[in-house]
Chain A
Amino acid sequence: AQTVTQSQPEMSVQEAETVTLSCTYDTSESDYYLFWYKQPPSRQMILVIRQEAYKQQNATENRFSVNFQKAAKSFSLKISDSQLGDAAMYFCARVVSNYQLIWGAGTKLIIKP
């Protein structure tokens, strides 16, 4: 089965601290793309970061970085120096063989001022 699992329905973090959102997935493929998307209350889906499975180096975009563990099929998102504007739903997604995205259920991130 092609699934993406986000086990944390909701997470909260103090402003300026670091938080990690977890994502695991199931696949028998060796090469694929993984993404983290952010969806604020405006409901627009924004691409945060992407990881190509054949690359061993973890992707980084400013305060956002991933911990990609291919053997464990784990793809967690770390947000450093959390800001109020980071409050949103975060979705993990994986490209499958027909080039479509399989989505996780999402994690709601709350930033405490």
Chain B
Amino acid sequence: DIQMTQSPSSVSASVGDRVTITCRASQGISSWLAWYQQKPGKAPKLLIYDASSLQSGVPSRFSGSGSGTDFTLTISSLQPEDFATYYCQQANSFPLTFGGGTKVEIK
């Protein structure tokens, strides 16, 4: 199985801050990576697929980059509604696997 490691596990930030979350795959996955946002008590929401493609309806302050084993999710200017937990997911091979999550908290 491909292991996905996210860092940091949590980050404290203020509204307007730039936030970057990292995801590392245990082996190369090309650009087969997605990012999801999950708010408490809610289902995950797809933000980014194919490492850098923005899902329809997702604000442009979210962006993704990377290929191979190292990927990043960037929120350019954090908004109040962005406080949530973010997960990466590799889409290269079965079984599909998720990172452990990064909680973005209010500073």
User: A and B: partners?
Assistant: no
Binding site for A on B (CB under 8 A): none
